[in-house]
Structure 1
Amino acid sequence: MLKVLITDDEQMICNLIANILDWEDMGFQIIGMANTGTDAFDIIQKEKPDVVISDIRMPGYDGIQLIQKTAEAGIQAVFVMISGYKQFEYAQNAMKYGVKYYLLKPISEEKLRETMMEIGRELDVKQQKIVEERHLRRQVQEARDKMKRRFLTTVLAANEKDNLESDISRNAVNAEYNTEFKDGEYRAVFVKVDIRGAVGKSAEYLQDKIEQYVEKFGKDFSESISTYTHSGIVVLFNYKNEDEEEIKRKIEELWTDLDDYVKNFEGFSVVIGVSEATGQFKETRKCIVESMDAVKYRIKNPESKILYYDEFDYQRRPVGTIITPVKRQNYLAKIESGSAEDAAACIDEAVRMIRYEITNYSPVMLYDTLIYYVDLLNKTLDKAQKEKMEEYFEQWNERIDNERTELKLTEATKAYVTKVIQYVQEEKKDKDIRPVREVKTYLEENYHQEISLNDLADIVSLNASYLSALFKKETGMTYTEYVMFCRLEKAKELLADTGKSIAEIADAVGYHDTRHFSKLFTRNIGLKPSEYRKLYS
């Protein structure tokens, strides 16, 4: 509904205008009436009507003054001026203020309806234009933000040991990605939301809200770009050198805002990692990595909520000094042998070395080492195995992101390694058992026929010698022993449940020599066929 204010020094005229039309049916709503220009302006300021129907001559502000005051207040309203014949020239003066609608007294119902319908169409077109312009501005801004995030994604994807290419210029980046980096300092913050336990869909809602706080944080900088990683939001920003103290205040303010909000949700907490400042544009990737590493420092500083990378002097060594080639090969051998316990012991040994043999070790070393062990394990899996283990890998990833103690990080990794190795061993065992199972099924259905080992090997697509050894290993019998077992079991059934002769039964189970059948039956069952029948029929 479009809002309409009626103002005239005669209340009777106001009532007439209010009652002459079915306003709601036309899409309008009368929000008030006023008999003076000052009262009308008070209502205009409070209600911000879309249309004002105003007399020219009124106490307080006259019609022209009311138009001026409304324009000065920045309120956009369509004015319809009411005047008599003697005031016509005066009414025309209002047109220089953009007024194009006026009505002569006495007011005609038809003319008023016609005027209001035209105003309605004009405002509809105007509103549509506003919506389209807003949508266009949003699209332009989204395209610009997308280009900016593409730069940040490119930086994140760069090799860990590299910064940006040494010959790349800030101006070139600004031109290519529509960024506005300037002279000054560069820093990154990493906003990490730790999740404890099952939290349902509230995590997604929370993430959107946190993004709003981060956008607000970045508005006052020369340039600010943010993007999601799998576990938080990273923000790269550029600011003037003299604003260093202000930056720290703003970071503390960001954490306070986030913490106050996150407290409303059970199972969440916020920590912020802050990189060292640099004046070198090409070191922006280093800033991002430092902000993420700073968050990892929380496992040694559990009470800290904002962790500045440059405030800690931790020792960090390459993973290769912890997991030497010999230890790497030993770990892979444990995986190959299917010993989950021994593989987990390799992890424990590496963690002990970090914690007790390296003075003031960097928590990042622990993360790097655990991730390295998991990567080594995952590389031993084929595509199908990786797909089967994907859910467990995601669970491990989530725990690594959210656990806040060395012990829990280590236990989470050992649990994943154990799960994968056990799965692979079970799968390997199942692979060995499957052809044996198929052979047993075939023999149980075709025991009465002459079956060679080569026939069975062809059925399961295995080498005959390998199948023979595998069958013996899994069943404790050779295939010929199993055929005899199947035949004799069926013979026992026929002896007990039918009146067939022993010769007929021997022939039915695959023995065409009755004497040979009787000897085999007696030797293996402990009774002659005739005795078995008497006892069990």
Structure 2
Amino acid sequence: MYHIVVAEDEHWLRSELTEMIERIGGGFTVIGEAVDGEDAWNMLHELWPSILITDIRMPRKDGMELLRNMDDAGLPIVSIIISGYDEFDYARQAVRYGVSEYLLKPVMQDELKEALLKSRDRLELFKELNGCFKFINAFMERLPQSAAKERNTELNTVIQEIWRAQTVFPKSRKSALTAFEGKLTALILGMDADYIPSESPDWNNKEAVTGYFRAMLEVWSFKSRAVSGQEVRQVIRKACEYIENHYMQPLTLVKVAGQANLSPSYFGHLFKQFTGQSFIGYLNGVRIRKAKVLLMEEDIKVYEAAEMVGFISLPHFNRMFKTIAGMTPNDYRKGMGF
């Protein structure tokens, strides 16, 4: 089945094109009728058709701008342009956007059928990418019922499928990934989430891309389970306990986030939200507090105290101590009477 969106501001012509396509059959079916370019642009993202039939002149967003937007976004959609005789030279400029066929008004059914058949052949070039979009759609449909472990496994499958996409469509990988990003973002924003990963990753870095989408899924999971503030505080409380018990080790945001089974970016967001401090700020605070206790022991040297609380650089320890305690370690000891 080849799904088609028809974009035409003249109602009679839009209806006529739809009726012609119904008569042509052959697996072609109209799934959306847009009254202008802006309407069509929204439909392309909502319906993901295989073919777009668009008039070159329309209000709000004309056909040329629509094609330009599609090209920039890398949408794997074959386009057929409709134009009048006085617009044909203008319409020919659309070749840069990969237009499949041009039809002059009045549109004849035989000409439309020929254009659709040629478009169908051209769609074979997009088969790999369309497969990616099917994986994404299937993933989004299963998302509400899937368990966390299943989600991660299926996410890896989706990313792997996108990475395997053929290069016949130059923007295929980015197109699929940004579409996936858009769907997850819309899903999260629809739940009044207060956090979305701030920056898109390097789309050519598979590990970064996987981590980015995993972080988005964690946000969705928290919101979809209606996690209460008390539950989140419990997660952060356990993380703080972990820091209190392991501060002398080389702790990182990544490591502690892993203990909480959260991505570093989302964990960092929650940690600051509920403690009022960044992770590293909190960790340094714990270490300096522990160092103060050690420095009260006359036989423990400053560099030894620094090492015992997890600092590998004495100058860094001295800077952090002064920033947090308001004095150097030596001045602190003098104040204690040493």
RCO (CA 8 Å, sep 6+): is it higher in 1 or 2? 2
TM-score range, shorter chain: 0.3 to 0.5
TM-score (norm 1): 0.27
Larger radius of gyration: 1
TM-score (norm 2): 0.41
